[in-house]
Amino acid sequence: MTAEAHHHREEHLPLLDGFHEQYSVHLDKFDGPMDLLLHLIKKNELDICDISIAVITRQYLEFIKLMKELNLEVAGDFLVMAATLLQIKSRQLLPRDDQEEPEEEEADPRAELVRRLLEYQQYKEAGMVIGARALLGREVFARTESEPILKAAQNVEGPLEVSLFELVDAFRVLLQRIPVESFHDVAPGDSLSIADCINEILSLLQEQDTVQFDELVRDELTRERVIVTFLAILELCRLKLIRIFQGSEFGQIWFVPAVAKDSAEVDLP
Amino acid sequence: MNSELPSIIESLIFTAESALPVDRLCELLGEFERDQIKLALAELVAHYQERAGGFDLVEVAGGWQFRTRPVFHGYITRHIKTRMSKFSQSALETLAIIAYRQPITRAEVEHLRGVDCGGVLKTLLEKHLVRILGKKDIPGRPLIYGTSKEFLEVFGLKDLKSLPTLKEIQALDAVPQYERQEELQLEPDKVIQVENQLPLE
């Protein structure tokens, strides 16, 4: 620690002491600069439409300073708001230049901020209202919900179709399993092409009705292999040659031919 | 009117996998008039309300479904594991903004909240409460978001219009360009309930 930093720290020590009792509880409570501003306005018992920018700005900046003292990462959003507050204050202080701009729009430099605050408050409130509702799976249960026997039966009967989102997720899980490569292969040997991979998957589907996601990459669990396989599957899906299923939530992903076995032979580019 | 009709509808809703829309009921029961079906539904709803049992017949996400009464959730969770956790304030705020303002871009949500919403948005997408509606036809073609059917189901809403509503923005001179949402009245008891916890004058 440099001498300067040390000095800086000492200077604020008394402040820090108070911080722990006064502010630490609130720290994670604020959901952003708007939330903090609303809190300050309420704390100072100010009218949201007629806030004292000087008071609010001072307390706002103090808060940011305290966050820094605690080595908390001050999000950029908080700094943007600080700049906005300072800008409003400076505009309030400057005499109005009537000659140059006789425009009457925004006679009060606070107007835009007030509008945003009111708007934000509204949505914060709306969020609380919907959050107070009885939620399905928490307070309310539907008859078909959480029926283990039915769910199990469903898995046997027929798989669910998966969204692209889930497919990407499955790949992410797979990628995480790949051991970290410790060296860089400067000149890769025989690289696998997507077309090869497509053919491989198709021939596999000739032999068996369904192919598991894992099966495709089991023998050669490398990043390249997984990515090429992924692209091949997306391509096959686009060509409508296969369908992708998932047996259950977070379960294995399966592929089946989209057409009958015999007609699966299609010329690939 | 066929005196069996309410019972027929009851059996259909009972066996349905998800909320059964009136349109679907009419399709299944071609031999009955739509009005008859609606009347029978109303009769059923009244029946369950009168009975005040463990569950109700309710309209959610545009369909009819049997749902337990919230008061009994403590008993139900004794044998059913709930996976649903309470939503965080940021999740609820973001959901509210998307619900009232859809279709909306991430930038618009972030402008309203004054904070980065990438993480929250991702979580909401993963929970299928929010979905991508498409791309906005402005430079950069940003994605536009809206709430999903699951959102209505989870929050027990009939449709988006039955969302508890925002109060009129009174002191505002400028209405944002994407402000097109129809404003609805909040149910009075809900207003009181919420305002008690709010830093409002």
Exposed/middle/buried for A162, CB within 10 Å: 0-12, 13-18, 19+? buried
Alpha helices in B52-127 (DSSP H): 73-76, 89-101, 106-113, 118-126
Give the count of beta carbons closer than 10 Å to the beta carbon of residue A57.
20
Measured in angstroms, the CA of A141 and the nearest CA of chain B are apart by 5
Among chain A residues, the shortest Cα distance to B174 is held by: A115
Mean pLDDT of B69-80: 88
Determine the residue type at A20. Answer: H
Residues A240 and A158 in one domain: yes
Percent of residues, chain A, with pLDDT higher than 70: 64
Is the model's pLDDT at B58 over the cut of 90?
yes
- pLDDT tens, residue by residue, B76-86: 888 887 777 78
| Residue-range definition of the domain harbouring residue A11 | 3-95+105-131
Residue A255 belongs to some domain of the structure? yes
Contact A38 B199 (CB under 8 A): yes
Q: Which of A14-23, A141-150, B168-177 has the lowest mean pLDDT?
A: B168-177
Closest CA to B145 of B106, B179, B112, B110: B106
Q: Which of A74-78, B78-82, B176-180 has the lowest mean pLDDT?
A: B176-180
Residues A72 and A120 in one domain: yes
Is the model's pLDDT at B115 over the cut of 80?
yes
Distance (Å, rounded) from C-alpha A120 to C-alpha B89?
13
Out of A80, A115, A130, whose CB is closest to B96? A130
Confidence label for A163 from pLDDT (cuts 50, 70 and 90): low
Is the model's pLDDT at B47 over the cut of 60?
yes
Residue A175 belongs to some domain of the structure? yes
Out of B65, B113, B200, whose CB is closest to A142? B65
Out of A38, A126, A137, whose CB is closest to B166? A126
The pair of three-digit structure tokens given for residue B194, joined into one six-digit string:
């919420």
β B104-105/A253-257 pair status: unpaired
Residues A156 and A243 in one domain: yes
Task: Give the model's pLDDT for residue A259.
Answer: 62
Give the count of beta carbons closer than 10 Å to the beta carbon of residue B145.
26
Residues A169 and A71 in one domain: no
Closest CA to B69 of B79, B54, B57: B54
Contact A140 B171 (CB under 8 A): no
- pLDDT tens, residue by residue, B117-132: 888 999 999 889 999 9
Are A130 and B94 spatial neighbours (Cβ–Cβ below 8 Å)? no
Query: How many contacts does A have with B, using Cβ atoms within 8 A?
Result: 158
Distance (Å, rounded) from C-alpha B111 to C-alpha A37?
15
Among chain A residues, the shortest Cα distance to B71 is held by: A139
Measured in angstroms, the CA of B125 and the nearest CA of chain A are apart by 9
Task: Give the model's pLDDT for residue A101.
Answer: 56
The residue among A85 and A68 whose pLDDT is bigger is A85
What is the dihedral sign for C-alpha B39, B45, B49, B53?
positive
Task: Give the model's pLDDT for residue A162.
Answer: 62
Residue A185 belongs to some domain of the structure? no
Contact A141 B115 (CB under 8 A): no
Mean pLDDT of B107-113: 91
Distance (Å, rounded) from C-alpha A251 to C-alpha A151?
13
Residues A76 and A165 in one domain: no
State the Cα angle at A136 between B106 and A160, rounded to 5°.
75
Helix axes B106-113, A111-131, angle to 10 degrees: 100
Percent of residues, chain B, with pLDDT higher than 70: 81
Task: Mention every residue, 6+ apart, whose C-beta is less than 8 A from residue A19.
Answer: A66, A69, A70
Is the model's pLDDT at B163 over the cut of 70?
yes
Distance (Å, rounded) from C-alpha A232 to C-alpha A242?
11
Q: Which of A205-214, A242-251, B25-34 has the lowest mean pLDDT?
A: A242-251
Give the count of beta carbons closer than 10 Å to the beta carbon of residue B190.
14
Distance (Å, rounded) from C-alpha A162 to C-alpha B188?
42
Task: Give the model's pLDDT for residue A21.
Answer: 44
Are B188 and A127 spatial neighbours (Cβ–Cβ below 8 Å)? no
Average pLDDT, rounded, for chain A: 71
What are the distances in angstroms from CA B189 to CA A14, A134, B186?
47, 15, 8
Measured in angstroms, the CA of B61 and the nearest CA of chain A are apart by 12
Residues A81 and A122 in one domain: yes
What are the distances in angstroms from CA A257 to CA A115, A205, A222, A235, B39?
56, 7, 25, 13, 47
Q: Check CB contact of B84 with chain A, cutoff 8 Å.
A: yes
Contact A123 B197 (CB under 8 A): no
Confidence label for A71 from pLDDT (cuts 50, 70 and 90): low
**Which DSSP letter does residue A262 get?**
G
State the architecture of B89-195 in CATH terms. Orthogonal Bundle (1.10)
What are the distances in angstroms from CA B172 to CA A56, B80, B111, B168, B183?
21, 48, 17, 9, 15
Residue A114 belongs to some domain of the structure? yes
Task: Give the model's pLDDT for residue A203.
Answer: 82
- pLDDT tens, residue by residue, A217-233: 777 777 788 888 888 88
Q: Check CB contact of B183 with chain A, cutoff 8 Å.
A: no
What are the E-state strand segments in chain B?
A: 55-60, 63-68, 104-105, 130-135, 143-147
The pair of three-digit structure tokens given for residue A163, joined into one six-digit string:
């969204």
Distance (Å, rounded) from C-alpha A92 to C-alpha A57?
13
Are A117 and A38 spatial neighbours (Cβ–Cβ below 8 Å)? yes
Distance (Å, rounded) from C-alpha A241 to C-alpha A201?
11
Q: Which residues belong to CATH 1.10.10.10 in chain B?
A: 5-76, 89-195
Q: Which of A175-179, B55-59, B67-71 has the lowest mean pLDDT?
A: A175-179
Q: Which of A4-18, A56-70, A239-253, B12-26 has the highest mean pLDDT?
A: B12-26
Mean pLDDT of A131-144: 83
Out of A120, A136, A146, whose CB is closest to B156? A136
B61, HSE (Cβ side, Cα atoms, 13 Å): 19
Measured in angstroms, the CA of A160 and the nearest CA of chain B are apart by 14
Is the model's pLDDT at A210 over the cut of 90?
no
Looking at the structure of chain A, the number of domains it has is 2
Q: Which of A24-38, B33-47, B131-145 has the lowest mean pLDDT?
A: A24-38
Confidence label for A9 from pLDDT (cuts 50, 70 and 90): very low
Give the count of beta carbons closer than 10 Å to the beta carbon of residue A24.
11
Residue A143 belongs to some domain of the structure? no
Residue A142 belongs to some domain of the structure? no
Measured in angstroms, the CA of B153 and the nearest CA of chain A are apart by 7
Out of A116, A122, A130, whose CB is closest to B167? A122
Contact B169 A118 (CB under 8 A): yes
Task: Name every chain B residue with its beta carbon within 8 A of the beta carbon of A79.
Answer: none
Q: Check CB contact of B48 with chain A, cutoff 8 Å.
A: no
Mean pLDDT of B62-80: 90
Q: What is the 3-state composition of chain B as percent helix, strand, coil, each rounded to the nearest 5? A: 45, 15, 40
Q: Before B103, cis peptide (omega within 30)? A: yes
Distance (Å, rounded) from C-alpha B9 to C-alpha B26?
10
Residue A141 belongs to some domain of the structure? no
Is the model's pLDDT at B175 over the cut of 50?
no
Measured in angstroms, the CA of B65 and the nearest CA of chain A are apart by 7
* CATH code where residue A220 lies: 1.10.10.580
Measured in angstroms, the CA of A182 and the nearest CA of chain B are apart by 31
Contact A146 B186 (CB under 8 A): no
Instruction: Answer yes or no: pTM beyond 0.90.
Output: no
Task: Name every chain A residue with its beta carbon within 8 A of the beta carbon of B73.
Answer: 134, 138-141
Contact A130 B164 (CB under 8 A): yes
**Which DSSP letter does residue A191 get?**
P
B196, HSE (Cβ side, Cα atoms, 13 Å): 6
Mean pLDDT of B70-96: 86
Is the model's pLDDT at A19 over the cut of 70?
no
Task: Mention every residue, 6+ apart, whose C-beta is less than 8 A from residue A223.
Answer: A175, A178, A181
CATH number of B5-76: 1.10.10.10
Average pLDDT, rounded, for chain B: 81
Out of A38, A39, A132, whose CB is closest to B194? A132
